[in-house]
Structure 1
Amino acid sequence: MKYPFPAQYRVIALAMAAMHSGLPMADTETTPDGITQLEKVVVTASTYRNTASKTALPPEKTPQGISTVTEEQFKNKGAASVSQALRYTPGVNTELRGGGATRMDQYTIRGFTNFQNFYDGLQIHYNNSFIQPQIDPAAIAQIEVFKGPTSVLYGGMPPGGMVNIIARQPSSNNYDSIELATGSHNRKEATFQSTGAIAGNDELSYTFTSLAREKDSQIDSIKDERYMVAGGVDWQISDRTLLNMNLYHQKDPEAGVFTGVPATGSVLPSAHGSFDRDTFMGDKNWNDYDRDVTLLGYKLSHTFNDNWSFLQNTRFMDAKALQKLIYENPQAPINPDGRTIYRVAQLNDEKLQSFTIDNQLSGMINTGSLTHNVLAGFDYQRLKTYVYNSIGLVSSIDLLNPDNDQVDPNTPLIYNPYQKYDLTLYQNGIYLQDQILVDQWVMLAGLRYDNIRSDQTGITEVVKPLSNKVRQNNLSGRLGVLYTMSNGLSPFASYAEGFEAVPGSDRRGKAYEPSTSKQWEAGIKYAPETSDTVLTLSTFRITKDNVLTKDPSGGTYDQIQAGQIQSKGFEIEATSQVNHQLLLDASVTFQDVEFTKDNAGLTGKTPSWVPEKKATLWLSYFGDSGLLRGTEIGGGVRYIGEAVLDVATADKVPSYSLVDMSINSDLGEYSPGLEGTSLNLSVTNLFNKRYYSCYDQRTCFIGAERTVKTSVNYEF
């Protein structure tokens, strides 16, 4: 949404506050002195809040980094997961486990690894083992990436930022579509979407999405299979009250592989040559991943008057996963022949249930020339998980001549539980935010107090009793300021704090404290009224303290909180409608991430999975005449810079560049009989470039090979 500058900025404050209260923009009247005044306000409720502020403040007016990826953008680029949808997002390094291991959405944001996604503003709980619900793109309206520490609004999170997945919302506008897709790896896929009023009643509306997909993995003989239903119902109880009930259910009977290959023979040269692209160290008879996830929630929005509103966002999650895999024995030495791998088999049987509720009260207060959009909130999370992990030895494998059919599925491989525990976690937070608008200034100030409790009991490492209690508290703050100029330039600066709970204790029995972080960020946002160009340039420095590191006075595995990691860099993100036919999206990322304090010899070294540079460019051409009438042709390039292979060595993972393309054609432009029908073709890694992502010397992942997807969509 765009706003007039600069004299009318006080009206913007009123409009933003109205939107946060669930109010539409009011009818306006312009006075002789150029000041726009509100004539009337019609009250309706809303359940959407922007990720970076939990208000209606748009990203270009928010004094902190945030990137948004729309459904159209990630569909055109052939994204089959949230990780793939973020390939062109600055500051985000995706697909850490390559092209075969796609069952989890994992990435680094501004240099820090993140496994914690949010769905419609609530955390999707991850049990730090193998249960991570993975929202399918078919159910997503857009994705918002909030950069830097986000704890003031969301509690414990990694300091690089967070990913908030926005679900499709109900609408009274009738819409139905069926999409059939095929392509690489024997893809068979069908998607159905529908929205509309229920029984012709505009006070009741719905959205519904279902998907069925089956395809081969990048690894021969391994399958990917998914069935998903998602939807929601909006009940406009009154002009001031809206109730949204929502559901997401996903069943993954099979989900590819989760193992890699050694660095020697992939990234590093080997006397025996390189591994094939589909090299697999596991066994087809012991490679299962069966995941079942249900998310059930509601959002209740009520506006008390033109200034004050309340939103309650609640979700219950139930998830379970059964996994069988074979991977390299981490306790065995690396075989000097560079091809023989000693292996272990693993069985994981896990369950997770969680409940989350976020209560938000917001209102507008005028104090002289200042307009305050005040937000007060309380959230609560409860997580219970059961984890059973067992391991057993299996025969070795020659990766240059692999036999992936050695295991007899009827012969027990697992003898003893390696881990068996129950974990219960409680987290509650109280937060307060003041969004202040005066003339051309936007100021944000926030404060939050968190209390975390967790209890873990069971056994680990076969026989060791496990009893781990966490009792931690943290106070986080946030400050930001942005100044809007009449030419569309908006310089900004911000400071944000974050934390992550750290379980366990040192060798003296002293419980660890939360790991804390802080970010300084400054930059310029550009969104002029007279142009369809949006640009953000930001520079940042993030420092993470209380990182666990080796205890110099203790044993081999004793740790103390004396470590520190620092990430600094800058990002450029630009979108421009060059003319009515050409759209440009571009981004550049430079980051310098290193251990600045450590007792294990890591000081000055960079963590794994963190490229120093990243650059992307995507161009879309919209045809409006001739053979290209109704056709959009898109093409892009992704450059991922050099990264460390292993934090303990000087070896590097080479940089690489990948080319993608897409064609979308509205067939109704060619024949009236095909109205509502469209054809889509997307190709990722067009030239089938071979590339890698590495965690250490033992574990590298081969990137996604060329993937073609073609689909036909019929809207009715």
Structure 2
Amino acid sequence: MSRSRPSPLPFNVLSSPARRVAMATLLLGCPLAAQAQDDVAQSDTVVVTATALKVAMPLAETPRSVSSVSREELDERNVQSLDESFRYRAGVLSGHYGADNNTNWLKVRGFDQATYLNGLRLYSPGYYQWTPEPYGLERVEVFKGPASILYGEAPSGGIVNAVSKRPTEEVQGEIEIQAGNRQHRQFAFDTSGPVTENGDVRYRMVGLYKERDGDLDGTYNKRYYFAPSLEWDIADDTQLTVLASFQKDDGVPENPFKLAYGTLENTPFGKVDPETNYGAPGYDKDERTQLGIGYEFQHYLDDTWKFEQNFRYSHLDLDLRSTYIMSSRDGERTAPRGHLQRNGDIDSFTIDNRMVGKWYTERTENTLLVGIDYQDLSLDGQEYDNYSYDTVDIFDPDTSIAPLDPSQRFGRHIDKQQLGLYVQDQLRIDDRWVLLGSVRHDSADVKNTNQDINVTVDETQSATSFSGGVMYLGGNGVSPYLSYTESFRPQAQTAANGAIFQEIEGKQWEAGVKYAPATWDGYVSAAVFDIEESNSFVTQPTGEQQQGGETTSTGFELEGVGYLTDSLQLTAAYTYTDMRNENDQRKELIPRHQASAWLDYDFTAGAVEGLTLGGGVRYVGKTVATPSPFNSIDDDVPSYTLYDVMARYDFDTHWTAQVNVNNLTDEEYVASCDFYCYYGESRSVIGSLSYQW
């Protein structure tokens, strides 16, 4: 028996005041994916999100670009890391640094993104990377463009919000085992349901163990993950959800850094094998423990006003030793290796308080959001950096290394507190016009102590951000819009000389159209955008990051998900991005053209009933490369095309077997060059067997 299919609709237009009132009572963060529909023409399903506006609103009424990937799609493509989530969405680039087993690399509209979990920031300064486990997520959303108006600290390109699995009213569960190439092994469980007889208290427990070798020789990662949660309906108008997670990763880090010499360029010694590891797997290590606990509270004061409060405390402990190649001069066979160490921890907490008011007149619906949030970050660690620790043969590396005396490490301490106040008002007129206006002020106190050069920097960075938008809701499902947004990103890091980096600010104009007719189970969205960022980071000839100049990104995005027939679903996306630095030169890493398409077909009758077949193609256009003073790169990085396939068979309502293959042809390619060059990830084959109840 095949599973009931999820609707692809990420937004829906409400057509009556009664439905709007019903929508207003939905909880913050309602699932973005709609419930399965028996009739594809049915349009009463209310589909909302809270990522774009921090209030539950249909995306078809939101003059901003947001894409979502549901739990069903994460399962279908067997997503193993957060940066795999948006491979079939517009405006997002991943895989440009090849395989990496301890960091999620995503570019949104050409810029690095910030990661949020349940609407609260995950701090990842330097190498202290918080990596959400995809199996513990209900969905993943990307807000494209500056987002400081509601989230405070945010990059110019956008944010990624991961939403945790929540307790369910019905008893349900799953046990899953996986095996695959590169010694992939995984065991996972997920169980949920009511605790009390009347169902006012519900629980969920999610757990996982997995291990897998990396793409580079001698690298691997083992992960333990456990996430309990509890939801309590304290009263008819009050609810509390407690969310916790614990994750431990142990392994040898992948450093995919390679030189243009031997990858993009030919040499007298041949090409460098993609699996070549310039690190020291017998000495390098990546041990990190991350835990978080928090809650989401909401209380209806009356029929108009609701109070919401989100809180989370996070702790991350890191012990990292990592060795990597630096650079070489053309024609030489050897190159220096760098070595770094980080040993320390991060403690942080974030609290967000909001008042949400809704009221109606004969012709209007008004939603007012007033909020104040506070973020606190403390990093205390020991560091070491040496860019010429030893030398290595580029084509036949000796992976041994002389151990470092721990006394050579120096202390680093960072404290950052950020306070934000924001107001947003959304006005809907005659069920046809949506007007949106917002303002926010942030003040961030940053203190950074670097014992290596005996420098302490203590300063305050602040900014006021504005946002606005207008949208017309067409009766035929076509809704054009125009919006303006800003971003503000304070910096807790310092330059090599100890000077603190300045805050980064971004501005964006966006015009688009969203198409979601009531007679079709699907949607299409299109947008053009223009982003300007000041104080951008620039890669120096030494490989270090410094600030300077302005970066611009202009482009066009087209995205659609929908059922072509009752059994055939198409997901397709196209992205055009023209990103340039202060000298009007194209930025490295960012392709002008990206395109993807995924088809899956459910067999619902005959001998193959219960079988689902899927396949996708991903195209990434050529990119420019950044040369170093030690080697020149004369050519662009070529474009590449990758193929993914999936087959799933539902034996009955309980047992399911599935096979996923990414990079089906095991294409060997250089994904990008930015001082270093990076081979793309190799073929991945994973088989799964699950039992559900």
State whether TM-score is above 0.5.
yes
Contact kept in structure 2, 1:470 and 1:504, CA below 8 Å:
no
**1-side partners of 2:627 and 2:588: how far apart?**
6
**1-side partners of 2:545 and 2:203: how far apart?**
54
Which runs of structure 2 are paired with 1:25-104 in the superposition (5 Å)? 50-99=50-99, 101-104=100-103
Q: C-alpha displacement at 1:304, in angstroms? A: 1.4
CA 1:334/1:255 → structure 2, altered by over 3 Å: closer, same or farther?
Answer: closer
CA 1:381/1:579 → structure 2, altered by over 3 Å: closer, same or farther?
Answer: same
Paired position in structure 1 for 2:309: 312
Contact kept in structure 2, 1:98 and 1:702, CA below 8 Å:
yes
Unaligned runs of 5+ in 2: 1-8, 32-47
Q: Secondary structure at the match of 1:628?
A: coil
Q: C-alpha displacement at 1:255, in angstroms? A: 5.2
Contact kept in structure 1, 2:267 and 2:331, CA below 8 Å:
no
> Aligned Cα RMSD in Å?
2.7
**2-side partners of 1:615 and 1:11: how far apart?**
40
Contact kept in structure 2, 1:568 and 1:592, CA below 8 Å:
yes
Paired position in structure 2 for 1:176: 173
369, 376, 379: which is aligned to 2:373? 379
Q: C-alpha displacement at 1:502, in angstroms? A: 4.3
Q: Secondary structure at the match of 2:454?
A: strand
638, 641, 646: which is aligned to 2:618? 638
Output the amino acid matched with 1:123: R
CA 1:395/1:3 → structure 2, altered by over 3 Å: closer, same or farther?
Answer: closer
- Most deviating of 158-167 and 621-630: 621-630
Contact kept in structure 1, 2:537 and 2:545, CA below 8 Å:
no
Paired position in structure 2 for 1:401: 396
Contact kept in structure 1, 2:93 and 2:106, CA below 8 Å:
yes
Paired position in structure 1 for 2:604: 624
Paired position in structure 2 for 1:453: 445
**2-side partners of 1:611 and 1:558: how far apart?**
21
CA 1:23/1:687 → structure 2, altered by over 3 Å: closer, same or farther?
Answer: closer
Q: C-alpha displacement at 1:530, in angstroms? A: 0.8
Output the amino acid matched with 1:90: A
Paired position in structure 2 for 1:208: 205
Q: C-alpha displacement at 1:506, in angstroms? A: 11
268, 271, 283: which is aligned to 1:274? 271
Q: Secondary structure at the match of 1:713?
A: strand
410, 429, 433: which is aligned to 1:438? 429
Q: C-alpha displacement at 1:609, in angstroms? A: 2.1
Q: C-alpha displacement at 1:165, in angstroms? A: 0.2
Paired position in structure 1 for 2:318: 321
**2-side partners of 1:466 and 1:389: how far apart?**
15
**2-side partners of 1:559 and 1:352: how far apart?**
24
Paired position in structure 2 for 1:163: 160
Paired position in structure 1 for 2:560: 574
Contact kept in structure 1, 2:568 and 2:602, CA below 8 Å:
yes
**2-side partners of 1:284 and 1:685: how far apart?**
26
Q: Secondary structure at the match of 1:60?
A: helix
Q: Secondary structure at the match of 2:691?
A: strand
Q: C-alpha displacement at 1:211, in angstroms? A: 0.2
Paired position in structure 1 for 2:24: 17
Paired position in structure 1 for 2:578: 592
Q: C-alpha displacement at 1:23, in angstroms? A: 11
464, 475, 479: which is aligned to 1:475? 464
**2-side partners of 1:484 and 1:713: how far apart?**
43
Q: C-alpha displacement at 1:524, in angstroms? A: 0.9
**2-side partners of 1:702 and 1:496: how far apart?**
35
Q: Kindly provide the CA deviation profile for residues 46-91 of structure 1, in whole angstroms up to 9, marking residues without a partner as x.
A: xx96100111112222101110011111222231001011211211
**1-side partners of 2:454 and 2:232: how far apart?**
51
288, 293, 311: which is aligned to 2:290? 293
Paired position in structure 1 for 2:45: none
Q: C-alpha displacement at 1:416, in angstroms? A: 2.1
Q: Kindly provide the CA deviation profile for residues 349-390 of structure 1, in whole angstroms up to 9, marking residues without a partner as x.
A: 121000100011101133663221111111000000013212
Contact kept in structure 1, 2:28 and 2:54, CA below 8 Å:
no
Contact kept in structure 1, 2:448 and 2:494, CA below 8 Å:
no
- Most deviating of 522-531 and 623-632: 623-632
Q: Kindly provide the CA deviation profile for residues 426-464 of structure 1, in whole angstroms up to 9, marking residues without a partner as x.
A: 00100011011111111211110101101111323xxx2
Paired position in structure 1 for 2:105: 106
668, 686, 698: which is aligned to 2:664? 686
Q: Kindly provide the CA deviation profile for residues 332-358 of structure 1, in whole angstroms up to 9, marking residues without a partner as x.
A: x61443432211332211210001000
Structure showing greater radius of gyration is 1
Contact kept in structure 2, 1:21 and 1:362, CA below 8 Å:
no
**2-side partners of 1:96 and 1:394: how far apart?**
27
Q: Kindly provide the CA deviation profile for residues 127-150 of structure 1, in whole angstroms up to 9, marking residues without a partner as x.
A: 2x1111111111011011001000
Output the amino acid matched with 2:102: R
Q: Kindly provide the CA deviation profile for residues 244-287 of structure 1, in whole angstroms up to 9, marking residues without a partner as x.
A: 11101100011541342111111222221111120110112122
Contact kept in structure 2, 1:308 and 1:361, CA below 8 Å:
yes
Identity of aligned residues (%): 29
Output the amino acid matched with 1:108: K
- Most deviating of 501-510 and 430-439: 501-510
Q: Kindly provide the CA deviation profile for residues 504-561 of structure 1, in whole angstroms up to 9, marking residues without a partner as x.
A: 899999987533211110111000001112000100000112447899xxxxx99886
Correspondence 1:527 to 2:516: yes
TM-score (norm 1): 0.87
Paired position in structure 1 for 2:488: 499
Q: C-alpha displacement at 1:231, in angstroms? A: 2.3
Contact kept in structure 1, 2:98 and 2:256, CA below 8 Å:
no
Paired position in structure 1 for 2:139: 142
Output the amino acid matched with 2:477: G
Q: Kindly provide the CA deviation profile for residues 153-175 of structure 1, in whole angstroms up to 9, marking residues without a partner as x.
A: 00121110000001101112101
Q: C-alpha displacement at 1:616, in angstroms? A: 0.3
Output the amino acid matched with 2:392: I
**2-side partners of 1:434 and 1:10: how far apart?**
19
227, 230, 234: which is aligned to 1:233? 230
Output the amino acid matched with 1:14: V
Paired position in structure 2 for 1:351: 345
**2-side partners of 1:309 and 1:630: how far apart?**
45
Q: Secondary structure at the match of 1:657?
A: strand
Contact kept in structure 2, 1:583 and 1:620, CA below 8 Å:
yes
**1-side partners of 2:670 and 2:496: how far apart?**
38
Contact kept in structure 2, 1:468 and 1:504, CA below 8 Å:
no
CA 1:448/1:583 → structure 2, altered by over 3 Å: closer, same or farther?
Answer: same
Contact kept in structure 1, 2:637 and 2:673, CA below 8 Å:
no
The total of aligned residue pairs comes to: 660
Which runs of structure 2 are paired with 1:641-660 in the superposition (5 Å)? 641-646=621-626, 651-660=635-644
Contact kept in structure 2, 1:159 and 1:542, CA below 8 Å:
yes
Unaligned runs of 5+ in 1: 25-47, 552-556, 598-602, 669-674
356, 359, 364: which is aligned to 2:358? 364
**1-side partners of 2:263 and 2:29: how far apart?**
54
Correspondence 1:195 to 2:184: no
**1-side partners of 2:185 and 2:121: how far apart?**
31
Q: Secondary structure at the match of 1:365?
A: strand
Q: Kindly provide the CA deviation profile for residues 665-695 of structure 1, in whole angstroms up to 9, marking residues without a partner as x.
A: 1011xxxxxx400001100000001122334
Q: Kindly provide the CA deviation profile for residues 281-337 of structure 1, in whole angstroms up to 9, marking residues without a partner as x.
A: 0112122000100011011111112221111000000111101111124xxx61443
Correspondence 1:714 to 2:691: yes
**1-side partners of 2:221 and 2:102: how far apart?**
9
**1-side partners of 2:156 and 2:674: how far apart?**
23
Contact kept in structure 2, 1:95 and 1:102, CA below 8 Å:
no
Q: C-alpha displacement at 1:9, in angstroms? A: 4.6
Q: Kindly provide the CA deviation profile for residues 631-686 of structure 1, in whole angstroms up to 9, marking residues without a partner as x.
A: 11100000011112217766421110000011111011xxxxxx400001100000
Paired position in structure 2 for 1:125: 123
Paired position in structure 2 for 1:35: none
